[in-house]
Amino acid sequence: MGQANLFPNLRDADWQWGGTPEQIEQTIRNGRLAVMVSWQALLNDEGVENMAAYVMSLSGSPDTNHPGKGQYDMFCIACHGPNGDDNPLLGAPKLNDDTWLYQGDLESIKESIAVGRNGQMPAFNETLDDVQIKLLTAWLSQ
User: Interface with ligand HEC by CB under 6 A: which residues?
Assistant: 34-36, 39, 51, 55, 72, 75-76, 78-80, 90-93, 95, 100-102, 109, 112-113, 117-119
Least distance (Å) between residue 134 CB and ligand HEC: 26
79 or 133: CB nearest ligand HEC: 79
Q: Cβ(95)–Cβ(89) under 8 Å?
A: no
Least distance (Å) between residue 47 CB and ligand HEC: 9
Question: Residue 72's closest CA among 58, 88, 86, 60?
Answer: 58
Phi, psi of 129, rounded to the nearest 5 degrees: -90, 175
76 or 137: CB nearest ligand HEC: 76
Question: How many whole angstroms separate alpha carbon 15 and alpha carbon 109?
Answer: 20
Least distance (Å) between residue 129 CB and ligand HEC: 28
Q: Which residue is nearest to ligand HEC (CB)?
A: 119
Least distance (Å) between residue 56 CB and ligand HEC: 9
For residue 56, list its beta bridge partners. Answer: none
Question: How many whole angstroms separate alpha carbon 41 and alpha carbon 7?
Answer: 28
Question: How many whole angstroms separate alpha carbon 74 and alpha carbon 69?
Answer: 9
Least distance (Å) between residue 76 CB and ligand HEC: 3
25 or 111: CB nearest ligand HEC: 111
Question: How many whole angstroms separate alpha carbon 32 and alpha carbon 17?
Answer: 8
67 or 119: CB nearest ligand HEC: 119
Question: Residue 49's closest CA among 118, 111, 102, 117?
Answer: 111
39 or 137: CB nearest ligand HEC: 39
